[in-house]
Chain A
Amino acid sequence: MLDQVLSSLSDGIVLGFVYGLAAMGLSLIWGVMTVINLAHGPVIALGMFGTYLFFTQAGMNPYLAILLVAVLGLLFGFVMYGVAVHRVLNAPHLSTLLATFAINMILIGIGTAVFSTSPHNVDFSMGSLDAGPITIPLTRLIAALGAVLVTVFLYSFLYFTRPGKAIRAVANNREAAELMGIPSAAVLALSFGLGTMLAAVAGGLIATFFPFTILSGGPYELKSFVICVLGGLGNPLGALLGGLILGGLEGLVPAFMPVSWVPVVEFGLFVLVLVVRPTGLFGAK
């Protein structure tokens, strides 16, 4: 029993790092411009397919492919911001929600036409790590390490570089930041680009150990909502912690009740936290 709990918990926590990474992009965009990016799921899926294409078509190492996917994700984010988000940024919430959902529909529609909805996978294995009852495939461990690395990178970017500080200033108060000479449109585009980049990277890392379809981003998008609410908005460390909590829950809950109850617990907790403490468990704002 204890062995079982240990192995399922460690599985959950390792996955939790990746959930955290997937949520970080959503959290950044939400925190900076209060836009809930409903195209988050399809972007994660595009990250998966980008990695898949570089791996199968160009024979590239998947981790190298993820770096390329990251760059493409950043550029794609700029385009998305320019086309769909910038114009409706000051409109009521419904407009940004539906504008990003329109992108969601376009991406899923094209993705379905190109890749169909049958599962693909990146056929890549690196063996696994054994420690007593715990067995972790090395690809997952690398994904978890990658998530930590990206978090450190994002955190130092936001706190110690000029563009990062500009992002935080705009998140805090857009008018005041503009008065201080910060070009807010460029900063918002950069944050949106970074957000989609994070989503694409998370997708790429997930693709190295799970099979996927164009619709696979959806569940991660929903999990990201939960994580953002748990961890507070715009805070990379909060997102990572939220991801770990969610992963831990997914590991622990099946030990006590049937697996199918996991989403009930997750979303019940989500609504509860939203109602009781909408700024998130670790939110400072």
Chain B
Amino acid sequence: MKTRLRFGYLLPLAIILVWGVWVLLKGEDTLRETTFTVFMFIGMASSLNILLGYTGYVSFGHIVFFGLGGYFGFYLVSQHNLALIPASLAGGALSGALAGLLGLAVLRLRGAYFALATIGINEAARAFVSNFGPFGGATGLFVQFSAYEAYGGAGPALWTTFIYLWLVTLVVLLASSLVKSSRFGLGLMAIREDEDAAMVMGVKAPRAKTIAFMISAFFPGMIGTLYFFKNGNVEPGDAFQLHMSIEALVMIMLGGMGTVFGPMLGAVTYQGLRGYLLTSPIFKSLHLAVSGVFLLVIILFIPAGVVGWIRHRIPLTRKLLE
């Protein structure tokens, strides 16, 4: 697989790299917390984009992989004292494997049916975990305070988690670039444009779709483990919020689906906007309604997202933004 990493692919990586270093140098707790949330959503949106943007399958309940993988990783950390890196890898692996199995069945569905099936899977998983003894049922799991000692106490543990998340975000963006610039990615985009025609042209659509689904499920599982470890607990209500899934979709739409830079830009913009609305005295109680209006305007008038719009309007940027 020969890949040429052009400027457009390196730009998002460079931004996240510098941003992370800046946060580490500043060393402020509040800055770390807000950046953690932003990085988390960049990772979620970018990995979902591999399925949604490149392959054209709308996974509405994608948060299920964040929830289940996170649950599994957190279970390993809190109940079996596994270190954070192997635990989050295990969480990701569980999500990826699950996506592989589910994908065989639900990826045969197209369009809205696929979207509905993913919502159903998310609800079924939430209900199942609420009843599942080893995962603590409806009350969820907690991490023992002693688990933080391996990282030098609770404070340093949060910084360690942040660094891991930063690295995962970089890997997600790298994976997104690699997929987009590879032959495999071309196959995915052919599926997005016309699945039947792609199959005629020799794209092994069922296999390619399943692999894309697995990649896009793997990273949310890792991110979930890190997020719940940072929070110190996990419960079904937090882990399977359909709302978060849809927020990730909104970020992709906002930034531009099918691009590497778009989901990142969308995540940063959306989080910034939400932060502003939540703290502004005028919009505080109406923040959800204002975000709704904002979303509607984007869908109706700039469906290609910011990056798509800029690329369309200013041809010079086509080489710079991917």
Residues of chain A with a CB closer than 8 A to B287's CB: 109
Q: Does B52 sit within 8 A of A, measured CB to CB?
A: yes
Given A258-B131, A264-B124, A274-B117, verify A94-B58 contact (CB < 8 Å): yes
Q: Does A241 sit within 8 A of B, measured CB to CB?
A: no
Q: Does B121 sit within 8 A of A, measured CB to CB?
A: yes
Interface-centre pick from A88, A92, A263, A274 (highest chain B CB count, 10 A): A274
Q: Does B119 sit within 8 A of A, measured CB to CB?
A: yes
Q: Does B108 sit within 8 A of A, measured CB to CB?
A: yes
Q: Which of A13-21, A52-60, A100-108 contacts B (4 or more CB under 8 A)?
A: A100-108
Interface residues of B in 100-122 (CB under 8 A from A): 105-106, 108-109, 111-113, 115-117, 119-121
Residues of chain B with a CB closer than 8 A to A271's CB: 105-106, 117, 120-121, 124
Interface contact A97-B60, CB-CB below 8 Å: yes
Closest approach, in angstroms, between the C-beta of A174 and any C-beta of chain B? 16
Interface contact A98-B124, CB-CB below 8 Å: no
Interface contact B58-A109, CB-CB below 8 Å: no
Nearest-CB residue, chain B, relative to A91? B303
Q: Does A260 sit within 8 A of B, measured CB to CB?
A: yes
Nearest-CB residue, chain B, relative to A261? B131
Interface contact B288-A108, CB-CB below 8 Å: yes
Interface contact A104-B300, CB-CB below 8 Å: no
Given A97-B60, A101-B246, A229-B116, verify A88-B293 contact (CB < 8 Å): no
Interface contact B296-A103, CB-CB below 8 Å: yes
Residues of chain A with a CB closer than 8 A to B60's CB: 97
- From DSSP, what is the main secondary structure of chain A's interface residues? helix
Given A258-B131, A263-B124, verify A84-B112 contact (CB < 8 Å): no
Count of chain B residues near A, Cβ 8 A: 44
Interface contact B131-A109, CB-CB below 8 Å: no
Residues of chain A with a CB closer than 8 A to B250's CB: 98
Residues of chain A with a CB closer than 8 A to B253's CB: 94, 98
Residues of chain B with a CB closer than 8 A to A282's CB: none
Given A94-B52, A98-B253, verify A106-B293 contact (CB < 8 Å): yes
Nearest-CB residue, chain A, relative to B291? A105
Interface contact A278-B56, CB-CB below 8 Å: no
CA distance A271 to B128 in the complex (A): 14
Q: Which of B108, B126, B130, B303 contacts A275 (CB 8 A)?
A: B108
Interface contact A226-B300, CB-CB below 8 Å: no
CA distance A211 to B62 in the complex (A): 32
Interface residues of A in 90-144 (CB under 8 A from B): 91-95, 97-99, 101-110, 112-113
List 26 A–B pairs whose Cβ atoms lie within 8 Å, in order of A's numbering: A84-B300, A87-B300, A98-B246, A102-B292, A102-B295, A105-B289, A105-B291, A106-B293, A107-B292, A109-B287, A109-B290, A109-B292, A113-B286, A222-B123, A258-B131, A264-B131, A266-B127, A267-B123, A267-B127, A268-B124, A271-B124, A274-B106, A274-B120, A275-B105, A275-B106, A275-B117
Point out residues on A near B: beta carbons under 8 Å: 30, 34, 36, 83-84, 87-88, 91-95, 97-99, 101-110, 112-113, 222, 225-226, 229, 258, 260-264, 266-268, 270-271, 274-275, 278
Q: A95-B299, A274-B116 are in contact. List 7 more A-B contacts (CB 8 A).
A: A106-B289, A106-B292, A107-B289, A110-B289, A261-B131, A267-B127, A271-B120
